[in-house]
Amino acid sequence: MLHYNEQSDTYWKNYLEKNPQKKKEIEFARLLILQLQSKKEGGSTEEEAIGLLSGIIQQIENTNRKKNFRRITLSLLKYAAVALVFFFLGIGYYYFQKPESFSGLAEQLYSVPDESSVQLILGDGKNVPIDQKESTVEYRADGKIVINSRDTVPAESDRQAQKLNQMVIPHGKNSSILLPDGTIAYLNAGSRLVYPNFFKGKNREVFLIGEGFFEVARDENMLFIVQTTDLNVEVLGTRFNVSAYPSDNMIETVLVEGKVKISPNSNNPFRKEYTLEANQLASFNRISAETIISAVDVSNYVSWHNGFLNFDSSDLSRIVKKLERYYNIKIILDDPMLGIRSITGKLHLKDETEYVLKVLAKTASADLKKLNETTYVLM
**pLDDT score at 69:** 42
Print pLDDT tens along the chain (379 aa).
666 667 777 778 888 888 887 776 776 676 666 555 444 444 445 555 555 555 555 555 454 444 444 444 454 455 455 545 544 444 443 333 333 333 333 333 334 445 678 989 888 778 888 988 899 999 988 888 999 988 888 877 666 777 888 898 999 999 999 999 999 999 999 999 989 888 888 899 999 999 999 999 999 889 999 988 888 999 988 999 999 998 888 999 999 999 999 988 755 554 688 999 999 999 998 888 889 999 999 999 999 999 989 888 889 999 999 999 999 999 999 888 888 999 998 999 988 999 999 999 999 999 999 999 999 999 9
Per-residue pLDDT at 32:
61
Query: What are the start and end residues of each CATH 3.55.50.30 domain in the chain?
Result: 307-378
Characterise 302 by phi-psi region: left (phi > 0), alpha (psi -120 to 50), beta (else).
alpha
CA angle in degrees (0–180, nearest 5) for 164-165-167 = 145
Which pLDDT score, from 0 to 100, does residue 157 have?
Answer: 66
Class of the CATH-defined domain 307-378: alpha beta
Beta bridge partners of 342: 315
Question: What does the alpha-carbon distance between residue 144 and residue 87 come to, in Å, rounded to a whole number?
Answer: 24
Q: How far apart are CA 186 and CA 258, in angstroms?
A: 18
User: What whole-number distance in Å separates Cα of residue 378 and Cα of residue 369?
Assistant: 7
**pLDDT score of 77:** 52
pLDDT at 36: 52
State whether residue 62 is helix, strand or coil. Answer: helix
Between the two ends of the chain, the Cα-to-Cα distance in Å is: 53
Nearest partner of 137 among 166, 171, 96, judged by Cα = 166
Give just the sign of the alpha carbon dihedral 332, 298, 136, 258. Answer: positive
